[in-house]
Amino acid sequence: MSTPQLQVRRATIDDLPKLTPLWREENLPADDLEKRFKEFQVVEDDRGEVLGAIGLEIADQQGRLHSEIFTRPEQADVARQKLWERVQILANNFGLVRIWIQVDAPFWHVNGFTTADGDVLKKLPATFAGDPHPWRFVQLREEAGARQSLDKEFAMFKEAERERTQQMFRQARVLKIVAFVIAGAVLVLIGVFALKFFAFRSNRMNQ
């Protein structure tokens, strides 16, 4: 039997009829999660059947994985692997320094998540509301490195904006020159027509 091809994508509002019953089965706050469906990544098979989903909340360059659900418990770790690969890509795109989780599944233990001690817990964003379970985290990069990366990206953005502004000024100068040329040509044509008009009028008066 061939292994089904799994795809991971961002959840859409069309997924809610499938996700909401699963949240309720897991005693998760479905009404609240419905409003936050854009946080969720969904894994589905090649037939479009949803196999699982997990939320990624982002705050202060940190992420929190939450509210994971699966339709087939026996395939949960396979689905988790695909979701984790997706989450790591998103974390890199957003420049996250660490990711937090309270799920106690062994999969997360063997994929770098360790128990957070007192010093690390102080870095937990206050917006990450959690349950009484212990927090685990995985460090993705150092804060200084993340700040340097953000500074580099900001410098590149400023340089791109400067180049775009200079290009606009260059285009404005070209348009100004073209406008002067057109205005000059119009004045020359007016002068030529005026001379011809007065010459014609003089000739008529001399006849």
107, 77 in Cβ contact below 8 A? yes
What is the C-alpha R_g of the chain?
32
pLDDT digits (tens, 9 = 90+) for 147-206: 555 556 666 767 777 787 778 778 878 888 888 888 888 888 888 887 877 777 777 776
Distance CA 150, CA 142 (A): 12
Q: Phi, psi (5° rounding) for residue 51?
A: -105, -20
Q: Tokens 């040509």: give the residue.
A: 185
Q: Phi, psi (5° rounding) for residue 189?
A: -65, -40
pLDDT digits (tens, 9 = 90+) for 95-121: 999 999 998 899 999 999 999 988 889
Q: Which CATH class is domain 7-141?
A: alpha beta
